[in-house]
Structure formats: C-alpha cells, structure tokens
C-alpha cells in the first residue's frame, strides 16, 4: 500500500508543477504588461513634456514678437515726438522772424 501512495503523491506534485508554471507564466506576462504600461506612461509623460516645451517656446516667440512690436511703437512715438518738437521749433523761429521783420518795418517807417 505504502508503495502505491508514494507515486500518487509524486503524481500530485507533478500535476502541481504545470499549475505553478502557468501561474509563473501569468505573473510573468502580468509583469510584462505592467512594464509595457509603465513604458507607455513614461512615453506619454515625455510627449506631454515635449508639448509643454513647444508651448513654452511658442509663448516665448509670441512674447518676443510683442517686445518687437512694443519697441517699434516706442520708436515711432519717439520719432513723432521729435518731429513735433522740430515743427514747434520751426514755428517759433518763423514767428520770431516775422516779429523781427515787423519791428524792422516799423523802425523803417518811423525813420
């Protein structure tokens, strides 16, 4: 009897092995899946980061454009201001010229 029991237990052990192997395999495939998922997540994060970088660069470009526009406006305003100043000076000079002429004419007439 005892001789028969041993092979039975042996068979059970042998029967258990494929199950264990199946379990191992499923665990292994699970870890593979997890690894793949992690890789995908990392890739997604990387892509997101790249997108953010691109957005940031775009913002930088926009900001630079705004800066340029602002500088142009400033320059234009300054030029306009200079022109106005120059025109005012011209007008003042003309007025002075006219006054001098008038004075001279008056003096001439008085003489």
CA distance 106 to 96: 15
Q: What is the pLDDT of residue 17?
A: 57
User: Would the pLDDT of 91 be above 70?
Assistant: yes
Where is average pLDDT lowest: 13-22, 75-84, 94-103? 13-22
Instruction: Give backbone dihedrals phi and psi of 71, rounded to 5 degrees, phi first.
Output: -60, -45
CA distance 34 to 42: 12
Average pLDDT over the chain reads 83
pLDDT of residue 19: 64
H helix or E strand, kind and range, residue 62:
helix 2-110
Backbone angles phi, psi at 2, to 5 degrees: -65, -30
Q: How far apart are CA 66 and CA 62, in angstroms?
A: 6
**Which position has the higher pLDDT, 38 or 15?**
38
């Amino acid at each position: 009897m005892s001789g028969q029991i041993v092979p039975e237990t042996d068979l059970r052990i042998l029967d258990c092995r494929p199950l264990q192997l199946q379990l191992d395999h499923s665990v292994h495939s699970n870890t593979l899946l997890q690894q793949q998922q992690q890789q995908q997540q990392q890739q997604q994060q990387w892509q997101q980061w790249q997108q953010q970088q691109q957005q940031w660069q775009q913002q930088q470009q926009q900001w630079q454009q705004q800066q340029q526009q602002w500088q142009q406006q400033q320059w234009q305003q300054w030029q306009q201001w200079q022109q106005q100043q120059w025109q005012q000076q011209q007008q003042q000079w003309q007025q002075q010229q006219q006054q001098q002429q008038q004075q001279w004419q008056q003096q001439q007439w008085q003489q």
